[in-house]
Amino acid sequence: MERGCCCWLVALSAVDGRQYVYRVYAPADALLADLFWDAWHCHEESAFPRAWDLFDTALIRRVG
């Protein structure tokens, strides 16, 4: 992890009713929308069911 970065957890709701949580490393002053899109694109590249692309449904928390 680079200096000045912190860890964020981004939970995305998917069409199967589950939430998928992604760890995103970004600066403490990162825009929440950028964190959301980083996690969403990572999810879309996986084999998991489609995630909702609605920012309001995501849970974003800074850890550490």
pLDDT digits over 4-41, tens only? Answer: 789 999 999 999 999 999 999 999 999 999 999 999 99
Measured CA angle at 26 (ends 28, 7), to 5 deg? 80
What kind and span of H or E run contains 19? strand 19-27
pTM for the full predicted model: 0.84
Backbone phi and psi for residue 47, each to the nearest 5 degrees, phi listed first: -95, 5
H or E, element range at 34: helix 32-44
pLDDT bracket for residue 2 (50, 70, 90): low
